Structure formats: structure tokens, C-alpha cells
Amino acid sequence: MTAPQDSDFLCGGWIFDPVQRELRKFERGKKGWKEEPEAVERLQAATSVTLYRWGQTPMQTATGQMMPASLARVAVAYDVGGVLDINENDRECAHKLATAIAESYGFDVIEEGAPGGRRSGNLPSRDQMGRLVNRSGKTEVILDDAKREITISKRRFPIGKKRRTLSLAELRRLDLGYEVAGPTETFTVWGLVGFDEERVPFASYSGFEGWADPQEWREFADELAQSLGVELTVLF
């Protein structure tokens, strides 16, 4: 048996035969790829292929290795029961694996967050005066429905604040955005205000990727848009 060549690999030491639905994992030796695969799996009839992506606090395994903060897993659910879990923390490689396996079945890849399921309860709440207050870095935004005002305050170095007030009548629409940076995901409800459509963050949440519920944020943003009488655009 000869060692595989770089061109044989889908990515990251993985070779997948879509006809046989056979997945092989190889390790590198001192002089290149080893001849024998470390693991071989002949995939059975399946019902779905899911790509999980999530973030968590870096942890040390029992062998002393550090698990990264950003994790990914491909899960193939078998028709007869049981799930094949493929842990591949290279996000690009995990996506290639999931896509190749799903295409061999004629499926679309299901994309999810953390394997244990997303959690609700990450929405902002209004203060005692009924205002929506959002603090991000040096900026504080207060949405006051009763006064029909938007107040934007920025801390100034070394002391003091710069404050300005906008009329809620200038609000054009809301955008719901989602970003991932490293192991952290951020949901932001932006208000587009004025002729130049200045983006003002009305509400936001940041935490480890894959844990917050996107649908909960869509519903929150939609209800806020309806209460303010403007349209909502979901950007993800």
C-alpha cells in the first residue's frame, strides 16, 4: 500500500469516497502521510447531516491537550438509529466534510449552533422607566418610547460624556445583524436614523457562539419594529 498524496485529501487528513460513502482519516508521519489510515468509517443509510459550530471556554483534556475556544462537529444521523460524530475544529474543513457527505446522500447540510441546543433568555429587558438601554464599549444608547427620543452618550477621555438626542420620528427602519469573531457571536438590533441612515445600536448581546437562539432575536426585533412603526430587515 502506498501513502496517499496531498491531492487525494478533501481537507485536514480526510479522504471521502462519495460512491462508497467511505471516510478515512490519515495522520502525518516524519516523511509525509502514513500509508494506513488512523480510522475508517463506511457510512450507512442516513436521514440528515448536521454541522454544529459553537464557542466555549478553552478547556484542558485528560491527556493535557488544550481544546480550542471555537469548535465544530459534523453529525451524520443514521436511518437505523445512532449518530456518527466527526469532530473537526478547522471550520472550513468541517464545512467541506459536511457538504461532501450531505451531497453523497442528496441532502442539504443542516447548520446548528451548540450540540446541546441553543438557549433562550438572552434578550435585553427595559429599565424601570420602560426605556431600552444598550451599552457597548464607550457608547450608551437609550431608546425612550414615551418621550419619542433616542439619546446617544459617549464617554470622553479622561472624564465626561458627549451626549446628543435624536427624534424617534427620524427612525427609518431596524436591522437585525449577526456576527461571529473568534469564539464570540453578537446579535445587534440597529436603528437606522436620519437622512444618512446612521446606524444606532438599540439592543445587543455577545456571548459564546452557538448558544443564543436566533429565532428569539428575530421575534424580539420584529416586535420592536412593529411597536415603533417601522420595517425590519434581518441580515442573516
Among residues 195, 178, 196, 200, which one has the least CA distance to residue 187?
178
Q: Are strands 22-25 and 14-17 parallel, antiparallel or unpaired?
A: antiparallel
Are the beta carbons of 199 and 183 closer than 8 angstroms?
A: no
Give the global pTM: 0.78
Among residues 115, 147, 155, which one has the least CA distance to residue 130?
147
Hey, is 97 helix, strand or coil? helix
The length of the chain in residues reads: 236
Among residues 58, 51, 42, which one has the least CA distance to residue 88?
51
In the chain, the domains with their CATH numbers are 6-112 (no CATH), 132-234 (2.30.29)
Taking the mean position of all CA atoms in its chain, how far away is CA 84? Answer: 22
Among residues 37, 35, 12, which one has the least CA distance to residue 22?
37
Are the beta carbons of 207 and 185 closer than 8 angstroms?
A: yes
Residue 1: predicted pLDDT:
63
Are the beta carbons of 141 and 81 closer than 8 angstroms?
A: no
Residue 4: predicted pLDDT:
87
Q: Give 155-170 as a DSSP string.
A: E-SSS-EEEEEEEGGG
Provide, rounded to the nearest whole percent, the portion of the chain with pLDDT above 70.
97
4 preceded by cis ω (within 30°)? Answer: no
**The C-alpha cell that represents 225 in the structure block:** 419594529
Question: Rounded to whole angstroms, how far apart are CA atoms 7 and 231?
Answer: 50
Give the mean model confidence (pLDDT) for residues 72-94.
Answer: 95
> Which residues pair with residue 176 across a beta bridge?
189, 234
pLDDT tens, position by position, 175-197: 999 999 989 999 999 999 999 99
pLDDT tens, position by position, 59-77: 766 676 777 889 999 999 9
Average pLDDT over all residues of the chain: 93
CA distances for 39 relative to 32, 90, 166, angstroms:
17, 18, 62
